[in-house]
Structure 1
Amino acid sequence: VFPNGAYGAGRSAMNGGIFGCNARSGQGSAFRQIGDVKIAVFTVVNALGTVTDREGNVVACHKGNNWPENLKATDLMRAAPDSVQPGWNGDEESPGAERKNTTISVVVTNRSMTPAELQRLAVQVHTSMARGIQPFASEFDGDVLYAVSTNEVETGPGETIPSMEIGVAASELMWDAILAAVPAHQVTQPDPDPELVLPARTLEKYAGTYRFSHLAELTVSVENGALVASATGERDVFQVKKGTPRPLLAATQDTFTVERGRYPFSIQFAGDEIIINPGRWQQTGYRVSAD
């Protein structure tokens, strides 16, 4: 059993950061059997480039202002170098790419292969991944692919699947795995409820400083009858940037959001915990002090 999407090593994987897409991806897999020969591929797509389908469409992207509805990878690639710059196309909420990317993959077959054949299989399949991730293998991508044989199916004069043809099949499977790594549903943002007015005692209950790590803290305070979030650690906390406090808008009794921008964002309070983007990709902070 190998779950595709935001599981295992793919739990916090992302793609498309070079263009500011910052879409969620994960781990993906695909399998094919040809006679007695079995081929399985697995990949964790944490890529600087954007995942692209077989029609050239960008699979997932938090688009910038005025971007086409049917966004294609070639739209972004042809617009380079402008499209890789922060603030491109007049989008103020377009950060620079996060230079921490690794797409790690493996091809496994039960056909007996020599070390030289395995090395060529790895090169062939890894090169093919540039179709499904654009751009691919940049200087900021720590990409690697392993090729493995279990040596269960012996080769001989009458073999019907040469190693090169296994590479062809595995290359197409790897594109399937790349696509399977991207969840159909991305992070969403609730709409604030303009008619919801929370009492002061409820807001004061949420005030305090919450720690996500030794580098990231979020301080929530009550100002003029409303909650305000500030990043008070060394790093930003998603859409709450250091030095730029964000008013929190109530969506429910315990869930808040910010003014809608390019990237979705919500906060849920649960006792002494604060949960950023509740759901599959949530990050939890723990109260370290009351305001």
Structure 2
Amino acid sequence: MATPQLLTAYAGHWTGEGTGVTVILPPPGTVGSGEVRGGAPATREFALLEPGRLVERVDAVVLSGGSAFGLAAGDGVMRLLRERGQGFPTDFGPVPIVVGMSIFDASVATDPPGAEQGRAAALAAFGGEPFGIGTVGAGTGATTGKWRGTPSPGGLGRASGRAGTATVEVVAVVNAWGDVLDGDSTPVPAVATPFPMGNTTIAVVLTDARLSKLDCHLLAQSGHTGFARALHPAHSRYDGDAVVALATGEVDGADLDLLRAVTAEVMAGAIRAAVRLS
């Protein structure tokens, strides 16, 4: 099998006309949790990610365009993983745990991605295809700054950092109602009618630290801190802002609070990278 593109996880894209799918496939046994803070989310299996739920592992995270329609991309990933014998073991065979998050792009009115496109992105991940950033995969149809009435390009960004012996890597799809900020920038918005759809920033935090499901939930919360540092405004009623945090468990003894501090900074960096490369 090809070399993983993100730490020990495989990652791949399917890129279409104005929309796309990005799939992240962590190693077996990866622990995950997540949190939604935006007012208009399009998500799959997020209730399962709550710390009190039975299942701790996550087999795949699917980022897609197409809003709620695009969540169907997870079906193709789920079927592919079952064919490969991956998933939560049951008496009737493995049930892959596939989490999904979607942004609202123009494909909602035309041809949103579905199961076939999700499968294609997962096969690209397993095949070791280069994992590009910018206007690729789920970031293809993304825009920002819609609160000003003059949208700017968004996209998919990636950044990483070290927290002691552990590593944190973030993939973010930036399709925000607000603006992306540099560290010392403050936007001056024009008077504009709020655009009630077409928004959402979604992201995956991946670390090689060994963490519990509750720890991952706290890491996802710190990812949202990064949203607030790099997006203005963040977490509006018009955004479906959501973060999934995954811990693959190769590194023992990582300091959780240091991981959380690094995650916030790395998230902000990934969001800024999405715009610089679009």
- TM-score scaled to structure 1, two decimals? 0.48
Which of these residues, 133, 141, 144, is aligned with residue 4 of structure 1?
133
Residues 149 and 184 (structure 1), Cα distance of their counterparts in 2 relative to 1, 3 Å cut? closer
Report the equivalent of 1:151: 249
Amino acid in the other structure paired with 1:122 = A
After TM superposition, give the deviation of residue 163 of structure 1 in Å.
0.6
Q: Which ranges of structure 2 fall in alignment gaps of 5 or more residues?
A: 1-129
Question: Contact conserved, 1:131 with 1:175, CA < 8 A, in 2?
Answer: yes
Matched, 1:121 2:219: yes
Question: Contact conserved, 1:137 with 1:143, CA < 8 A, in 2?
Answer: yes
Q: Which runs of 4+ in 1 moved over 6 A?
A: none
Which of these residues, 151, 155, 161, is aligned with residue 32 of structure 1?
161
> For 2:250, what is the secondary structure of its paired residue?
strand
Which of these residues, 169, 173, 195, is aligned with residue 262 of structure 2?
169
After TM superposition, give the deviation of residue 25 of structure 1 in Å.
1.1
Which of these residues, 182, 189, 192, is aligned with residue 85 of structure 1?
192
Question: Contact conserved, 1:49 with 1:136, CA < 8 A, in 2?
Answer: yes
Q: Which ranges of structure 1 fall in alignment gaps of 5 or more residues?
A: 57-71, 77-82, 87-95, 156-160, 186-291
Matched, 1:99 2:181: no
Cα distance between partner residues in 2 of 1:35 and 1:168:
12
After TM superposition, give the deviation of residue 147 of structure 1 in Å.
0.6
For 1:1-291, list aligned pairs within 5 A.
1-34=130-163, 36-56=165-185, 72-73=186-187, 75-76=188-189, 83-86=190-193, 97=195, 99-155=197-253, 161-183=254-276
Aligned residues: 149
After TM superposition, give the deviation of residue 115 of structure 1 in Å.
1.0
After TM superposition, give the deviation of residue 184 of structure 1 in Å.
5.1
Computed over aligned residues only, the root mean square deviation of the Cα atoms, in angstroms, reads 1.8
Residues 33 and 128 (structure 1), Cα distance of their counterparts in 2 relative to 1, 3 Å cut? closer
Question: Contact conserved, 1:43 with 1:104, CA < 8 A, in 2?
Answer: yes
Cα distance between partner residues in 1 of 2:249 and 2:222:
20
Cα distance between partner residues in 2 of 1:46 and 1:151:
31
- TM-score scaled to structure 2, two decimals? 0.50
> Larger RCO: Structure 1 or Structure 2 (Cα < 8 Å, ≥ 6 residues apart)?
2
Amino acid in the other structure paired with 2:275 = V
Amino acid in the other structure paired with 1:125 = G
Question: Contact conserved, 2:195 with 2:238, CA < 8 A, in 1?
Answer: no
Question: Contact conserved, 2:162 with 2:262, CA < 8 A, in 1?
Answer: no
Question: Contact conserved, 1:42 with 1:107, CA < 8 A, in 2?
Answer: yes
> For 2:275, what is the secondary structure of its paired residue?
coil
Report the equivalent of 1:272: none
Structure richer in helix, relative to its length: 2
After TM superposition, give the deviation of residue 98 of structure 1 in Å.
5.4
Q: Give the greater-gyration-radius structure (CA).
A: 1
After TM superposition, give the deviation of residue 127 of structure 1 in Å.
2.5
Cα distance between partner residues in 2 of 1:35 and 1:127:
20
Cα distance between partner residues in 1 of 2:226 and 2:157:
16
Question: Contact conserved, 1:6 with 1:183, CA < 8 A, in 2?
Answer: no
